[in-house]
Amino acid sequence: MKNKRLSIALKKAYSEGRRTPNFKGQKRPEHSKAMKKLYKSGYVSPMKGRKPTKKQLEGLKKGRAWNKGTKGVMKSHRKGLTLKQEYGIKKAKQIRIKMSKKRKQLFKEGKLRDSRIYLKGELSPTYGRKLTEETKNKLKEVHKEMWKNPEYVEKCIKGFNLKPTRPEKVVMKIIKDLNIPFEYNGDFSKKIVVGGRIPDFVDVNRKKIIEVFGEYWHDKKLNKSLSNRRGEKRTVEDYKKQGYLCLVIWQKELKKISEVIKKVEEFNS
């Protein structure tokens, strides 16, 4: 009943253009008594000294809610304005530096992905532009050189939050049981990059690699959008150019563990 009475009083007050209802001759509601105690304790309202605009007063008279039609949406006071226009050159520069530092910190912690890596479609800076073959080849060479740098690779991969997949865990157990010198690098924990690729299991001394492939991500018959670079043939060839032998274990093969163990033993010998 108290809430209903308060609601009626508020509606009446807003219709008369007042911001608070008049409770003269009525018992004060519980929340009002609590506020009175709060103000006596030294609390200062954030609205003190602020006057509503004409638009706000009109809205109050009509009994319109401030957020009507904007459920779940926060409208920016800076809409259409740049930081420079809103705060001036000096303050805008300070804000940008602060934002940049925060982004770098979040990126280092792996809580934020580098947006430049994921710009696709209309968001891409090269959207609608046709690149010449010469430019494409140049970009390929630049990327190859960049991926030779472990620091750059670590930066790119940190945001992925990579962890061993189920098939990789099965192969990991096989390697452990056989006691063979292959180290897991699928999450880039060993910081090993071979020809721009991050191998799953590596034996650096004997230059041998074991890759665990899922059909969806590596079989072009199932996923036609895949590039040839993701396939088994191209992977083995790329590692061979770097002087590494590569064994590919497909996820479907793990249904017959005994055959996979034989395959790994033969590759290891």
> Coil, strand, or helix at residue 233?
helix
Distance CA 23, CA 29 (A): 9
Encoding tokens for residue 78? 């800076």
Digit-coded pLDDT (tens) for 222-236: 888 888 888 999 999
State the distance between the two ends of the chain, measured CA to CA, in whole angstroms: 84
Beta carbons of 22 and 11 less than 8 angstroms apart: no
CATH fit for domain 166-268, picks 3.40.960.10, 1.10.8.420, 3.40.50.360, 1.20.120.1760? 3.40.960.10
Distance CA 197, CA 192 (A): 9
No. of helices (H) and no. of strands (E), the chain:
11, 4
Amino acid of residue 44: V
Where do the structural domains in the chain lie, given as residue ranges? 2-43+53-62, 166-268
Low-confidence ranges of the chain (pLDDT < 50): 1-2, 73-74, 118
**Distant-in-sequence, close-in-space partners of 245: CB < 8 Å, separation ≥ 6:** 207, 208, 209, 239, 267
pLDDT in the model for residue 70? 53
DSSP helix, strand, coil percent of the chain (3-state; round to 5):
50, 5, 40
Question: How far from 172 is each of 176, 177, 185, 213, 246, CA to CA, in Å?
Answer: 6, 9, 11, 14, 16
pLDDT in the model for residue 246? 96
Is this structure's pTM higher than 0.75? no
Beta carbons of 195 and 239 less than 8 angstroms apart: yes
pLDDT in the model for residue 11? 63
